[in-house]
């Protein structure tokens, strides 16, 4: 074989090697970038000095805040703030809905966990329990609430009626964010590059799966777990059945903070300076990406994207159809 032929083969492999999927997704992102001001919200609601963490229920949207330390209830029928529920600390590690309550981890002295009754808005402290650190997470399964409670990465199974810890499970240090999906708890390791899988019936660790670097926030949809990787700004897709990484998408959004959610067969992400990205839940390709101010947390529900602007203390309602139609017009 001639030297020229060898060179051509090497170039071909370099072009179509393992990084092809990322490069293809990246090119789509470049052609679909717009400024966030191009996407006009239906409503923008001011809740406090800052706005962070979003949870969706059947009849409400909840958002955490500081100034005051609270969780605010928004009526999605009228797009109005209907209640501000004060809590004894800063909501700092996600929100979870389950068992008739909103579960709110707080950074305080010491860190703590409260449950807000969704019917009465009554606040009750769960004794002796709090998040390991800020930017963690909390999740609810059919029989429990799950939270990482210390720097040793102890995952606790909390009885939602009594508030007692029923089980303690040790996962790799640097893991902070649990997510329930398909009968398992999936825990991302923000100080590494992996996801730990726990069986919810036994509490046994059943797998440790690779991900992108520094995965933190994660969501479940289309039969997969999706991790937003802060190390390189990528999105990893893990098949929930085969337990294999089937795709990595280059979002080009590295850095701290951010959020991720699944809805309408799409993965939705937000980080500072890139408030919104849409990734197709079937192909893993970026549909659209908006840059500019705002962002940091989001929720999908009531046919809308609920996107916070942390520094402005606001949450905006953007109709999903508007966002998707915008993508179709700009491609």
Which CATH number is 164's domain given?
Answer: 2.130.10.10
Residue 256: the pLDDT is 87
Query: Residue 1 domain-assigned?
Result: no
Q: CB neighbours of 182 closer than 8 A, spacing ≥ 6? A: 220, 223, 240, 241
Query: Residue 81 domain-assigned?
Result: yes
Whether the predicted pLDDT of 15 surpasses 70? no
Query: Residue 326 domain-assigned?
Result: yes
Mean pLDDT computed over 277-284: 95
Whether the predicted pLDDT of 2 surpasses 60? no
Task: Please give the DSSP secondary-structure letter assigned to residue 78.
Answer: T
**Tens digits of residue pLDDT in 96-134:** 999 999 999 999 999 999 999 999 999 999 999 999 999
The overall average pLDDT reported for the chain is 90
Whether the predicted pLDDT of 22 surpasses 70? no
Handedness of CA 262, 263, 264, 269 (dihedral sign): negative
Query: Residue 200 domain-assigned?
Result: yes
Mean pLDDT computed over 62-71: 98
Query: Residue 10 domain-assigned?
Result: no
Q: Residue 290's closest CA among 323, 331, 266?
A: 323
Give me the helices (H) in 131-261, please. Answer: none
Give the confidence band of 330 by pLDDT, cuts at 50, 70, 90.
Answer: low
Whether the predicted pLDDT of 54 surpasses 80? yes
Whether the predicted pLDDT of 94 surpasses 50? yes
Query: Residue 4 domain-assigned?
Result: no
**Tens digits of residue pLDDT in 149-204:** 999 999 999 999 999 999 999 999 999 999 999 999 999 999 999 999 999 999 99
Q: Phi and psi of 173, rounded to 5°? A: -55, 145
Whether the predicted pLDDT of 45 surpasses 50? yes
Looking at the structure of the chain, the number of domains it has is: 1
Give the confidence band of 310 by pLDDT, cuts at 50, 70, 90.
Answer: very high
Query: Residue 16 domain-assigned?
Result: no
Structure pTM? 0.90
Q: Residue 146's closest CA among 105, 108, 88?
A: 105
- Structural domain of residue 119, as residue ranges? 23-330
Q: Looking at 118-265, which runs of residues are DSSP E strands?
A: 123-126, 138-141, 144-148, 154-158, 165-170, 175-181, 184-189, 194-199, 205-210, 215-221, 224-229, 234-239, 245-250, 259-263
**Tens digits of residue pLDDT in 220-252:** 999 999 999 999 999 999 999 999 999 999 999
Give the confidence band of 302 by pLDDT, cuts at 50, 70, 90.
Answer: very high
Give the confidence band of 33 by pLDDT, cuts at 50, 70, 90.
Answer: confident
**Tens digits of residue pLDDT in 125-156:** 999 999 999 999 999 999 999 999 999 999 99
Query: Residue 308 domain-assigned?
Result: yes
């Amino acid at each position: 074989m001639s030297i020229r032929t060898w060179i051509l083969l090497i170039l071909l492999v370099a072009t179509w090697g393992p990084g092809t999927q990322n490069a293809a997704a990246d090119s789509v992102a470049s052609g679909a970038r717009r400024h966030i001001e191009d996407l006009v919200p239906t409503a923008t609601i001011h809740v406090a000095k800052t706005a962070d963490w979003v949870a969706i229920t059947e009849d409400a949207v909840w958002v955490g805040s500081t100034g005051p330390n609270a969780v605010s209830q928004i009526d999605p029928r009228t797009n109005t703030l209907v209640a501000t529920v004060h809590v004894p600390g800063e909501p700092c590690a996600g929100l979870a809905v389950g068992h008739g309550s909103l579960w709110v981890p707080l950074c305080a002295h010491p860190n703590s966990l409260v449950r807000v009754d969704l019917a009465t808005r009554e606040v009750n402290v769960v004794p002796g329990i709090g998040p390991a650190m800020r930017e963690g997470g909390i999740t609810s399964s059919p029989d429990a609430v799950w939270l990482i409670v210390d720097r040793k990465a102890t995952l606790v199974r909390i009885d939602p009626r009594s508030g007692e810890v029923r089980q303690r499970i040790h996962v790799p240090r640097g893991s902070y964010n649990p997510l329930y999906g398909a009968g398992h708890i999936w825990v991302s390791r923000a100080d590494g590059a992996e996801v730990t899988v726990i069986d919810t019936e036994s509490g046994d660790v059943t797998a440790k799966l690779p991900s992108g670097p520094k995965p933190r926030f994660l969501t479940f949809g289309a039969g997969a777990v999706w991790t937003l990787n802060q190390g390189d700004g990528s999105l990893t897709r893990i098949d929930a059945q085969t337990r294999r990484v089937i795709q990595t998408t280059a979002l080009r959004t590295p850095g701290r903070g951010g959020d991720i959610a699944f809805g309408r067969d799409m993965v939705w992400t937000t980080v500072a300076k890139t408030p919104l990205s849409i990734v197709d839940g079937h192909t893993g390709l970026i549909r659209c990406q908006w840059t500019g101010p705002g962002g940091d947390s989001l929720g999908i529900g009531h046919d809308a994207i609920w996107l916070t602007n942390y520094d402005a203390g606001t949450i905006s309602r953007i109709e999903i159809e508007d966002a998707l139609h915008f993508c179709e017009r700009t491609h």
